[in-house]
């Protein structure tokens, strides 16, 4: 519970800190899903994914240098069979962010079943974005927009 709360609070802090600058795109699966459903321009996707992947790999190599030999690299591998890991990723010891898995895999040189952690979160994000797009209010159904507030004011 403590690890989950710490991770959640960290992501919340990052989103609140940089959300107004970059839209807080920390997950390439979400970036792809937003673009697929026209909430984000496709032209920006390659640069965002390149930044996400390179940041993850750099961070993992930095951790490897600092904590070697005490840290195994944080590599995510399924604790259940491949089919079950694909369908129930959060219960399999997985990560729902492909670069959270890719960075440690590159730094440790361990790519066992990595495809699960690249494909499943992206398909899940696409499904979630699709459902959101189907159920959200249309512009003509919504109330007039309120003035936008920023933390910088």
Residue-wise pLDDT tens digits, 77-120: 777 888 888 777 656 566 789 998 999 999 988 898 899 889 99
**Per-domain residue ranges for the chain?**
27-135
Task: Give 26-46 as a DSSP string.
Answer: --HHHHHHHHHTTSS-GGGHH
Predicted structure pTM score: 0.79
CATH class of 27-135: mainly alpha
Cα(101)–Cα(76) distance, integer angstroms: 6
């Amino acid at each position: 519970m403590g690890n989950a709360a710490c991770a959640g609070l960290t992501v919340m802090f990052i989103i609140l800190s940089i959300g107004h600058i970059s839209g807080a795109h920390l997950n390439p699966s979400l970036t792809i899903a937003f673009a697929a459903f026209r909430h984000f321009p496709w032209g920006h996707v390659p640069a965002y994914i390149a930044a996400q992947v390179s940041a993850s790999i750099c961070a993992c190599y930095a951790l490897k240098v600092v904590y070697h030999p005490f840290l195994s690299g944080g590599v995510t591998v399924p604790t259940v069979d491949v089919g079950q890991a694909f369908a129930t990723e959060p219960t399999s010891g997985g990560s729902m962010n492909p670069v959270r898995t890719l960075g440690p895999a590159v730094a440790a040189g361990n790519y066992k079943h990595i495809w699960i952690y690249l494909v499943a979160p992206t398909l899940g994000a696409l499904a979630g974005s699709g459902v959101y797009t189907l159920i959200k209010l249309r512009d003509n159904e919504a109330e007039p927009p309120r003035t936008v507030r920023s933390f910088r004011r």
